[in-house]
Amino acid sequence: MNGKISYERVLRDYLTGELKALNAHLPARQKTLADLFKEEYPQVLCNDGSVHLFKRRELEYIDGLLDGDERSRLLLPILIQISPDRSEVEAFCPGMVEAKVIQKVIGMPLEVKSGRITLYRRQLAVLRRHLKTTTQYVFAPPV
């Protein structure tokens, strides 16, 4: 290429870089609500080495929505996937506890399909208003 960087490589590098930057904050490992309550400063380690801090007020709010041993089954932060070309987003619910929390926060029953809940942008706004630090965005690569 005579020392020149190809145009495609620039675009490809930009796309990869953008995806990496958008998803760098994803937790290396999710923690249960019960574990987070034991910590003085509830936090999780992210993939980029940074630390994501949870607000105790939010954890207490979620705790108020749960019964019995559910706090030891709820994995935080709850991941919300943004897919291109779709106006809806998907929240990951590996256990049904996440679904319960989302339904209670939004205030309506929602269908869980293969461990995911489909949310409209308006519902997402409500969810994010209540659970700022206990939810995180995942950006899916565009096809």
Query: Could you list the residues that contact another protein (CB under 8 A)?
Result: 7-8, 11-12, 14-15, 18-19, 21-22, 24-25, 41, 43, 46, 50-53, 55-57, 82, 84-85, 121, 124-125, 128-129, 132-133, 136-137, 139, 141-143
Give the single-character DSSP code of 37: H
Give the dihedral of Cα atoms 93, 98, 101, 107; nearest 10 deg.
10
Question: Nearest distance from residue 68's CB to another protein, in Å?
Answer: 27
Instruction: Please state the length of the chain.
Output: 143
How many Å from the N-terminal Cα to the C-terminal Cα in the chain? Answer: 28
Work out how close the CB of 44 gets to another protein at its nearest, in angstroms, rounded to a whole number. Answer: 11
Q: How far is the CB of 10 from another protein (least distance, A)?
A: 9
Residue whose CB is less far from another protein, 70 or 123: 123
User: For another protein, which is the closer residue by CB, 19 or 96?
Assistant: 19
Q: Dihedral sign, CA of 28, 30, 36, 42?
A: positive
Whether the Cβ atoms of residue 24 and residue 47 lie closer than 8 Å to each other: yes
Nearest distance from C-beta of residue 64 to another protein, angstroms: 17
